Structure 1
Amino acid sequence: MGPETTEVYAPPPPAPSSGWIHRLNTRVADSFVGRYFRLEGSGHPKTREGAVFTTELRAGLTTFAAMSYIISVNAIILADSGGTCVCEATADDPICVTNEAYAQCKNEVRRDLVSATAAVSCIASFLMGLLANLPVALAPGMGLNAYFAYSVVGFHGSGSLGVTYREALAAVFLEGWLFFILSLLGVRQWLARIIPRSLTLATGAGIGLFIAFIGLQPAGGLGVIGGDYSNLVGLGGCKPEFADPDHPYVCLSHVLQRPSMWLGIFLGGILTAILMLYRVRGAIIIGILLVSIISWPRPTSVTYFPHTPVGDSNFDFFKKVVDFRTLKYTGNAADFNYSKGKIWFALVTFLYVDLMDTTGTLYSMAKFSGVMDPRTLDFERSTVAYMVDAFSISMGALMGTSPVTAFIESSTGIAEGGRTGLTGMTAGLCFFVSIFFAPIFASIPSWATGGALVIAGSLMMRNCADINWSYLGDAIPAFLTIIIIPFTYNIAYGLITGICAMLLIKVLPNVIYRLSGGKIAPHNYDTADEWIVPPGGFVPIWIRRAARREPFWQDVEEAVEDQVGPEKHHPHHSGSSMDEKVSGKNIDARVAEAPMH
């Protein structure tokens, strides 16, 4: 997830192109566009190998196909918070689970969120491609939206923090501008690299479990899991007539018999997984569309439009097909009440989770596309990329969505041959077109996206393979982080638990080891992950260069060659002693002075 490795994806050789395609690629490469985006054949001194105009367009379409599921999934998850709807609670229904008026309001919020998700994804992806020249698309992040909806605000506003949807949007808005400042100063990159590696990996895995858990529940997914009076959770999936009238998510009998649940499991889950096994582009969106199309006809047992007031309203909106919807419920809905202490608690957690999520994805995509500089351990225009991400977070909050982040699905476009910002811009234009098809995206049922959530969670669990399980000082804090996040329905509690456990279980034995002169060492201490302060110190490099009246705007590669010479490269940390790593003996001090974009 971090910048430890330097492998670069080697694309397959391009297939022979027809005459007009070749002429088009040649003309674009020889134009201002080609030189700006450093296409192959443009003559730019830093041409990106394999970057061809038509290939970039195809890669952008592939990226959009891989991540377009977020338009409906994000809206479904965030709408579970209730949005700006007001719950008229009763003793029998304290969180408005059976309130028809509240359900109708939630549907209106979800329709707004479909448009808002598409709009902010369009802006963020287009700007990332145009300004940072990276083949990366952005959208409201999975995990971050679940934390926003289920932890900060809570299902139907029942969160333990006592923060409303409007106040949570204010926290996200301020987070974006704080990130913008941190990105401008270069601190964001430094902070991301100082977090212990095992804890970072465990956070991603815990969020994966959290997302999968949501995908299995009736509120935001398949409905396989429901409430249980003796075990807290149990099997669900019963028809409405067999559920508890007072608690519709608790099945009294006939579990796993709801047809829509099995439709979502087989087509949205198993079929999607099989398509992914065969590397079918857009497998997730194919599964979601199949389940949705089958669920749209009304006279079926799996219909999304039952003959109820809510079903009739949904069907009337669905028949519009094409519609430009203004954000009546979520647009500019933030309540900037920063005097409330719990908002700051949510803000700090947003800062940490989003910091690691975006940084890890950007570094991974930079390495995958071959734009990482091994000498500076940074990628081209990294500061611009972080600033675009930060700006998009604040703009998304004004539209009513959770934090925006770089999407790992961008790797599908890179694998297709995307190397420049044209890939991200193409994906952004696809999101723009989707804004006008809000009725279609708003009519995707939760059981169509539940399988996608479970699959996304399983992919995030791959982080567990890289956690250092051989040393308990890394393993136990990581495990606690992973398990606490889904069990408490709160990412913040998992992070706090992991950090506290690491301070007690890892840092304390390390202090004893140092005080004893190395005589009292815990078992497998030599295998512990090093906690390394990144090179260059805390003060941003461009500020230090400006203070010395040096050209701090100078290109990274040129500045490094000025200081270390063209033959020098940044050495990798290869020893096993924590003392040696922390002291920085293996770090070339001159490279630490190289500027960051």
Structure 2
Amino acid sequence: MLGHTMSAMVNNSQAAPVTPPGSPHKTQLSGLDRWFEITQRGSDVGREVRGGLVTFFTMAYIIALNPIIIGSEADSTGRLISGAPKYLDAARTQVDWAAVADSKMMVAAGTALIAGLMTILMGVWGRYPLGLATGLGLNAMLAYAIAPQMTWAQAMGLVVWEGILITLLVMTGIRTAVFRAVPPPMRTAISVGIGLFVTFVGLMDAGVVRKPAGSTPVELGINGSLMGWPIAVCITGFLLLVILYTRKVRGAMLLSILLTSVLAVVVEAVFKVGPTFLADGSKKATGWALNVPKLPSAADFASPSLGTLGKVDMLGAFSPEGHFSFKVFLGLLLLVFSLLLADFFDTVGTVVAIGQEGDLLNDKGNPPHLQQILTVDSVAAMAGGLGGVSSNTSYIESAAGVGEGARTGLASVVTGIAFLLSIFLTPIVDMIPSEAAAPVLAFVGYLMMSQVAHVDWDDVEDGIPAFLTIVLMPFAYSITTGIGAGFIVYCLIKLIKGKAAQVHPLLWAVSALFVLYFGQGILMSLIDKL
């Protein structure tokens, strides 16, 4: 039974009555309710369905974005992940755009398939309101840093190895033990930092905040001004969400996404805004960031192709010229280590943040069914490699679904089914622009910021590591970076204060690994000199 105060969003909905242990009515709960612990967690089926749909809509951008990253880049042989050549000439100057389009369609279908299967598995086995899909950052590293050094099949083989290693860490209990070794102040800081990170992601996705052409790192809108219909739609969506939330309307987040999407479709139909990235490679600053919201035609519904599945070479990367090379092995080992550490701690941060936002953590700060949650996440990394879509991992956008009221794995089943349907209904999913989902992500940051009061800021042993964790997540655009910096400084301050014995041995080990992680550029340069 949950013992803490439910989050603000939960109080806006009527929770199902919780049946006390030993109650004679407890046996009347359905099998679905008992398995997913719906009543036990103070939820109901309607809230789980709404929460699952909100999570899907805030994650759906990956179906459009992953093909752009994975599907359009060539490997060392000049071939796309589909196996087709990217270029029409030997000099690699003329791109075969038809082949690129086919490759991107394959990646889109594979992305939705693996995300759907893994999210359903998380719901049924992990019983946690957590969506999984191709990890951003991990896919970029694969496309821009790893694949150019080898074939796509070999690159996906490294992803599978990363998944195998992280699964072994779960099966041996090491990953679970590391999760439990994180001290409470750092757990709180991770949750708050992720709230700011999610807010920043939402604002960037909608173009409300963006990278300027000038010298400042970021700016408001275009040259410091909120210009263009897409930004207007995003702001309208946020204000609508605030109104619905303030009025305690059930399903406020889902309604906000749907109504804002309808508004976006109308705006596009009337004003012909168009995309940000044009076909000739130029950019239109006031265009839609990712999806152009428009009603699909019958021709848009094409049969999905799953050609990326199973294209994996597990050993080829280690023997690029037909024989083993110790130098190549060390370099690849460092790449796999980077993938593993990023995947490992992104998940730790996400699970903690979701648990705290949904009041799902026990008195020791651990979620229910932790072993199963971490196992599914680890298997998802392997599945992403086998599916040819890059490592799949837990999505912090799930916090939007939790904010809507999701508390159980049933919400994840709903999210997963939506992903599977999107394989065949991609044009309908493409009607939801990022400008409609961004307001929800930004609003989730508000919900998660409330936990900042739980950090003792007067105590430097907790305050300084918590501060670094919180600020580095959005500023470095990396959950893993924030966690790593916080861990290292936490251990360092304890050492300076003569309290090293208070730090869990696993936290010392993890901090040492993070030192290597942050110094991987130096290590790679040393390996290159061998």
TM range (shorter): 0.5 to 0.7
Tell me which of 396, 399, 405 is aligned to 2:394: 405
The whole-number CA distance in structure 2 between the counterparts of 1:6 and 1:501 is: 32
Q: Which residue of 2 aligns with 1:353?
A: 346
Task: Indicate how the Cα distance of structure 1 residues 474 and 398 shifts in structure 2: closer, same or farther if over 3 A, else same.
Answer: same
Which amino acid in 1 is paired with 2:167? F
- Pairwise CA distance, 1:194: 0.4
TM-score (norm 1): 0.60
Please state whether the residue corresponding to 2:61 is helix, strand or coil.
helix
- Pairwise CA distance, 1:352: 2.0
Q: Is the 8 A contact 1:119 1:432 kept in 2?
A: yes
Q: Is the 8 A contact 2:209 2:218 kept in 1?
A: no
Please state whether the residue corresponding to 2:60 is helix, strand or coil.
helix
CA RMSD of aligned residues (A): 4.9
Task: Indicate how the Cα distance of structure 1 residues 426 and 354 shifts in structure 2: closer, same or farther if over 3 A, else same.
Answer: closer
Which amino acid in 1 is paired with 2:394? T
Report how many aligned residue pairs link the two structures: 446
Task: Indicate how the Cα distance of structure 1 residues 128 and 403 shifts in structure 2: closer, same or farther if over 3 A, else same.
Answer: closer
Tell me which of 112, 132, 140 is aligned to 1:139: 132
- Pairwise CA distance, 1:437: 0.7
- Pairwise CA distance, 1:357: 2.2
Which amino acid in 1 is paired with 2:131? L
The whole-number CA distance in structure 2 between the counterparts of 1:165 and 1:460 is: 39
The whole-number CA distance in structure 2 between the counterparts of 1:221 and 1:103 is: 27
Task: Indicate how the Cα distance of structure 1 residues 62 and 293 shifts in structure 2: closer, same or farther if over 3 A, else same.
Answer: same
Which amino acid in 1 is paired with 2:258? I
The whole-number CA distance in structure 1 between the counterparts of 2:192 and 2:155 is: 24
The whole-number CA distance in structure 2 between the counterparts of 1:183 and 1:366 is: 24
Tell me which of 95, 120, 127 is aligned to 1:126: 120
Q: CA offsets, 1:253-288, max 9 Å, x none?
A: x94332222222223x32234334434312453255
- Pairwise CA distance, 1:301: 4.2
Q: Which residue of 1 aligns with 2:189?
A: 202
Task: Indicate how the Cα distance of structure 1 residues 209 and 335 shifts in structure 2: closer, same or farther if over 3 A, else same.
Answer: farther
Which amino acid in 2 is paired with 1:293? V
Task: Indicate how the Cα distance of structure 1 residues 319 and 288 shifts in structure 2: closer, same or farther if over 3 A, else same.
Answer: farther
Does residue 464 of structure 1 match 2:458? no
The whole-number CA distance in structure 2 between the counterparts of 1:465 and 1:434 is: 40
- Pairwise CA distance, 1:471: 0.8
Does residue 232 of structure 1 match 2:225? no
Task: Indicate how the Cα distance of structure 1 residues 393 and 270 shifts in structure 2: closer, same or farther if over 3 A, else same.
Answer: farther
Overall identity of the aligned pairs, in %: 19
Which amino acid in 2 is paired with 1:126? I
Q: Is the 8 A contact 1:215 1:221 kept in 2?
A: yes
Task: Indicate how the Cα distance of structure 1 residues 83 and 355 shifts in structure 2: closer, same or farther if over 3 A, else same.
Answer: farther
- Pairwise CA distance, 1:67: 0.9
Which amino acid in 2 is paired with 1:120? I
Structure 2 unaligned residues grouped into runs of 5+: 18-24, 79-92, 282-287, 319-328, 510-530
Task: Indicate how the Cα distance of structure 1 residues 265 and 8 shifts in structure 2: closer, same or farther if over 3 A, else same.
Answer: closer
Q: Which residue of 2 aligns with 1:290?
A: 262
Q: Which residue of 1 aligns with 2:372?
A: 384
- Pairwise CA distance, 1:325: 1.7
Please state whether the residue corresponding to 1:7 is helix, strand or coil.
coil
The whole-number CA distance in structure 2 between the counterparts of 1:6 and 1:104 is: 57
Q: Which residue of 1 aligns with 2:494?
A: 506
Q: Is the 8 A contact 2:131 2:394 kept in 1?
A: yes
Q: Which residue of 1 aligns with 2:235?
A: 265
Structure 1 unaligned residues grouped into runs of 5+: 15-25, 40-46, 89-98, 238-250, 515-529, 539-597
Q: Is the 8 A contact 1:210 1:485 kept in 2?
A: yes
Task: Indicate how the Cα distance of structure 1 residues 479 and 357 shifts in structure 2: closer, same or farther if over 3 A, else same.
Answer: same
Tell me which of 237, 244, 266 is aligned to 1:275: 244
After superposition, residues 214-233 of structure 1 pair within 5 angstroms as 214-217=201-204, 220-233=205-218
- Pairwise CA distance, 1:348: 1.6
Q: CA offsets, 1:436-489, max 9 Å, x none?
A: 211222354443443344334444444433333121122112222332333334
Please state whether the residue corresponding to 2:458 is helix, strand or coil.
coil
Q: Greater Rg, structure 1 or structure 2?
A: 1
After superposition, residues 563-582 of structure 1 pair within 5 angstroms as none
Q: CA offsets, 1:13-64, max 9 Å, x none?
A: 57xxxxxxxxxxx9xx99xx9558637xxxxxxx968489xx9653442232
Please state whether the residue corresponding to 1:68 is helix, strand or coil.
helix
Q: Which residue of 1 aligns with 2:56?
A: 68
Task: Indicate how the Cα distance of structure 1 residues 472 and 266 shifts in structure 2: closer, same or farther if over 3 A, else same.
Answer: same
The whole-number CA distance in structure 1 between the counterparts of 2:167 and 2:187 is: 22
Q: Is the 8 A contact 2:160 2:385 kept in 1?
A: yes
Higher mean Cα deviation, 354-363 or 473-482?
354-363
Does residue 441 of structure 1 match 2:441? no
Does residue 176 of structure 1 match 2:140? no
Tell me which of 444, 454, 463 is aligned to 1:475: 463
Please state whether the residue corresponding to 2:129 is helix, strand or coil.
coil
Q: Which residue of 2 aligns with 1:7?
A: 4
- Pairwise CA distance, 1:108: 6.3
Task: Indicate how the Cα distance of structure 1 residues 507 and 488 shifts in structure 2: closer, same or farther if over 3 A, else same.
Answer: same
Which amino acid in 2 is paired with 1:300? F
Q: CA offsets, 1:170-198, max 9 Å, x none?
A: 55533433343333333332210102333
